[in-house]
Amino acid sequence: MMNKIKQGVLKFNLLLAFIACNMALFAQPPGGPPPGGGGTTGTTPPCWEPECVPIDSGLIFLLIAGLVLGARMLYTRKQQVV
């Protein structure tokens, strides 16, 4: 009984530590003003054209790999059932 209580207290303390350290674990510091692209204010993004969006053929390869993996998983499950 005491062992379960100690484990619960340990889990709670770890959870509290992770929540308390959340602000110190950001991946990058807060940024400054947005990048300039329109006029003198620099409030508009520098590019909204399709060539500026980094999603292109890489997304297609990811979807194909997901379909292949799903088909393989279905095939192995069917072989296990039979």
pLDDT in tens, 16-53: 988 887 766 666 666 665 555 554 555 555 665 566 66
Domain annotation covers residue 61: yes
pLDDT at residue 30, as a whole number: 63
State the total domains in the chain.
Answer: 1
Q: Look at 25-29, 39-43, 59-63, 69-73 and tell me which has the smallest mean pLDDT.
A: 39-43
Domain annotation covers residue 9: no
Domain annotation covers residue 80: yes
Domain annotation covers residue 70: yes
Domain annotation covers residue 49: no
Residues 18/8, Cβ–Cβ less than 8 Å: no
Domain enclosing residue 71, as ranges: 55-82
pLDDT at 77 over 90: yes
Distance CA 54, CA 62 (A): 14
pLDDT at residue 59, as a whole number: 81
Q: What is the phi/psi pair of residue 43, to 5°?
A: -95, -20
